Amino acid sequence: MSTNDINQDSAAQDLESIGPLAIAGVKPYEPKPGEEYMNDAQKEHFRKILTSWRDQLRSEVDRTVVHMKSEAANFPDPLDRASQEEEFALELRARDRERKLIKKIEKTISKIDHDEFGYCEQCGVEIGIKRLEARPTADLCVDCKALAEIKEKQLEG
């Protein structure tokens, strides 16, 4: 792995660790007293977060394609070849997770477009601005999510 690859990987990890708000370059939303939940300003705030996050993930996919094309080599040494194949496999696995996340982000943007964003899919209560900023693709309130996790643990045995 070259120094450039290491720098790109650490930059990608830095972007993931700073979260969607920082990627979008926005500050946490401060609701005004008496402000209606999921008004146009709030929806626009989340649309900006989600589109920036999606665009950043797409650029990572493009970077991976370029990296794999430029780094692909037919090493005569089986250990070098295996090492490169493992590196590519890890990268592809990460991109597959990101592809699924991009789909979830696009589904969430569609919810904003259809005025369905910000409400729990199970009980219908407001999910909350702070929770949505921490997890913009959340579709369950904290209580329903906790119940779902308890049920999942019980099923696992």
Locate the domains of the chain by residue range: 3-156
The helix-helix angle for 78-113 and 40-71 (nearest 10°) equals 160
Q: Round to whole Å and give the CA distance between 139 and 124.
A: 10
Topology of the domain comprising 3-156:
Four Helix Bundle (Hemerythrin (Met), subunit A) (1.20.120)
Q: What is the pLDDT of residue 14?
A: 45
Assigned token pair, 142 = 């904290």
- The answer to whether 85 touches 73, Cβ cutoff 8 Å, is no
DSSP code, position 126? B
Q: Residue written as tokens 């120094």?
A: 3
Answer yes or no: pTM beyond 0.75.
yes
CA 64 → CA 44, 69, 107, 115, 148, distances in Å? 30, 8, 24, 35, 35
Nearest to 18 by CA among 55, 44, 59, 53: 53
Sign (positive or negative) of CA dihedral 61, 63, 67, 70:
positive
Tell me the average confidence (pLDDT) per consecutive run of 10 residues in the chain, 157 residues long: 44 56 89 94 96 93 80 78 86 91 97 96 96 96 96 88
The residues pairing with 119 across neighbouring beta strands, listed in sequence order, are 126
The whole-number pLDDT of residue 10 equals 44
